[in-house]
Amino acid sequence: MKHISTAALLALTVSTLTLASVQAGEVVWWTPNWGEARAKELAEKFQAANPGITIRMEVTTSDGLPQRVLTSLQSGAPPDIMEVQHGWVNAYAQNDLVLPMDDVIQDKDDFNAAAIQNVSWEGKLWAIPYRMETHGFIYNKGAFTAAGLDASKAPETWDQLIAAAAALSKDGKFGFAITGGGEVGNTIFRSLPFIWMNGGNIVSDDLTTAVVNSPEAVAAVKFYTDFYLNGQSPDSTLQNDGTANRRLFIAESVASYQSGQFDINSIRNENPNIDIGVGLLPHPEGKTPASILGGWSYVVPKDAKNPDEAKLFLQFLNTSENQAFFTDTFPVRQSAMSAERFKDPILVPFRDMLQYARPAPIHKAWVQITQAYFDGIQRILTREQDAQASMDQANEEIQALLDS
């Protein structure tokens, strides 16, 4: 077995060489490409104020980010700070891959409660959420007027939305686009709020029972999927994620859909002719809207080389001013909301939606639970099952996940 010892010897030599190359006081920061310029500015500011610490940025892209993050976490050679979505944090905490962050912020009250809840587990905080957003109802005012609808306000109730979608769907156009394809999260973000508004849920609050086949949940699922089955959501619904819906909206094939404020700029750039209207997500008569809170957080991996310096830098990144500067959507700090850039009138409904935003349930099998639910939605959209039968099957699968 000569080759084993050769490999071992080689490994030994090289590893002694590389150990020396880890620099004290260097914080490696993985930050996504869409915020690169702002990140650079913040890093330079921080370095100027803290001469002993250097910030080394490594720019990430959204393609394959979860794989890249997990590979580095699992293999014990992660950077010092990573930016990840709120929803990913819990799995990292439960697998003991990230450090608790309770010592980083002292004024937790200033942070949005749902965002904090999103990244908490077993009473500890596992990430610093800095950015948050939620969906609103986006519509084409011109299309509304053309269909004889009141374009000055969005439909407020489910019945109004159903009526509007019917009126808007003609001449090969579609009234209201839902998603039925792409990553699971797309459809969760768009359909789970309807279940919540109707008083239902996917799993019970104590996370022991699957409740997705309850009458409230099934009614909401039927409400959601009927837009496609009745021909008011595009034929391509099973292929479409949020981005595809935006493109269909830009192509004026779709008159309304759900999305976040991040879509507004794209629409304005690519089709300036559309007069964009935004409203709250429609709710059942006599009830209130609901939505899922999304956004991004900073985590410090357990195997980070310089966690103390990293936390110092995080305190800097999470001052009210810097959060307001760095976020793509809204900042998690309430005090940062007063910044000038959040005063654009079109943002008001998105901002108002935040008060109805909830974190997704926190359970170790949540991703699989959502997958089972999403499979159920797709079974309805492919007309394999009706809403009740499909949710019965999903319920059974989800219960099995909760029990295991």
Partner 1 sequence: MSHSLVRTGLPRPLILIGVVIVLLVCLFPFAWMALSSIKVLGELYTIPPHWWPDAPTWSNYAKVLFESNIPRYFWNSVVISVGSTGLALVLAIFASYGFARFNFRGKPFWQAFVLIGQLLPTAAIIVPLFITLRVLGLVNTYWGLILVYMIVTLPLSVWMLTSYFKAIPVELEEAAIIDGSSRLGVLFRITLPLSLPGLIAVLVYSFVTTWNEFIFALCFATDSSVKTLPIGLSEFSTEFNTDWGGVMAASMVMTIPIALLFLVFQRLFVGGLTAGATKG
Partner 2 sequence: MYLRRHTGLLFALPALIVLFMLIAYPVVYTGLLSVTDNKGNLVGLSNFAAVLKPRVTTQAFINTLWWVGGSVVLQVILGTATAVLLNQNFWGRSIVRSLTLLPWVVPGIVAATTWAWMFHTEFGIINYMMTSTGAVPKAVNWLGDPNLVMPVLIAINVWKLFPFVAVMVLAGLQSIPNDLYEAARVDGASFWHEVWHISLPGVRPVLTAVTLLLVIWALNSITIIYAITKGGPANRTLITPIQIFREAFENVAFNRAAALSVIFFAVVIAIVFVYIKVSSPSPEAAK
> Closest Cα partner for 357 from 287, 246, 281, 264?
281
**Element spanning 24, H or E:** none
Using the rule CB under 8 A, give the single segment among 98-106, 241-249, 341-349, 380-388 that binds partner 1.
241-249
Strand, coil or helix: what is 281? coil
The site map against partner 2 for 107-126 (x = CB under 8 A) is: --------------------
User: Does 11 interact with partner 1 (rule: CB under 8 A)?
Assistant: yes
User: Does 355 interact with partner 1 (rule: CB under 8 A)?
Assistant: no
DSSP codes joined into one string, 328-392:
SSEESBGGGGGSGGG--GGGHHHHHHGGGEEPPP--TTHHHHHHHHHHHHHHHHTTSS-HHHHHH
273 binds, among partner 1, partner 2, none (CB under 5 to 8 A by kind): none
**Element spanning 101, H or E:** none
CA dihedral of 79, 112, 122, 88, whole degrees rounded to 10: -40
- Between 46 and 296, CB nearer to partner 2: 296
- Between 11 and 348, CB nearer to partner 2: 11
Q: Give the residue, chosen from 41, 44, 58, 285, that forms a contact with partner 1 under the rule CB under 8 A.
A: 58
CB atoms within 10 A of CB 29: 22
Strand, coil or helix: what is 132? strand
Q: Give the residue, chosen from 50, 209, 236, 266, that forms a contact with partner 2 under the rule CB under 8 A.
A: 236
**CA 88 to CA 90: how far, in whole Å?**
6
Total residues at the site for partner 2 (CB under 8 A)? 44
Minimum CB distance to partner 2, residue 291 (Å): 23
**CA 135 to CA 88: how far, in whole Å?**
19
Strand, coil or helix: what is 31? strand
CB atoms within 10 A of CB 286: 6
Task: Calculate ∠ Cα 395-401-404, nearest 5°.
Answer: 140
User: Contact 291/301 with Cβ under 8 angstroms?
Assistant: no
Strand, coil or helix: what is 26? strand
The site map against partner 1 for 67-96 (x = CB under 8 A) is: xx-xxx-xxxx-------------------
User: Does 96 interact with partner 2 (rule: CB under 8 A)?
Assistant: yes
User: Does 400 interact with partner 2 (rule: CB under 8 A)?
Assistant: yes
The site map against partner 1 for 259-278 (x = CB under 8 A) is: -x-xx--x--xxx-------
Minimum CB distance to partner 2, residue 91 (Å): 4
Binding site for partner 2 (CB under 8 A): 3-4, 6-7, 63, 66-67, 70, 74, 91-92, 94-96, 180-184, 234-239, 244, 247-248, 251, 253, 365, 367-368, 371, 374-375, 378-379, 381-382, 384, 397, 400, 404
Q: Give the interface with partner 1 as residue ranges (CB under 8 A).
A: 10-11, 14-15, 17-18, 30, 32-34, 58-59, 61-64, 67-68, 70-72, 74-77, 242-243, 246-248, 250-251, 253, 260, 262-263, 266, 269-271, 328
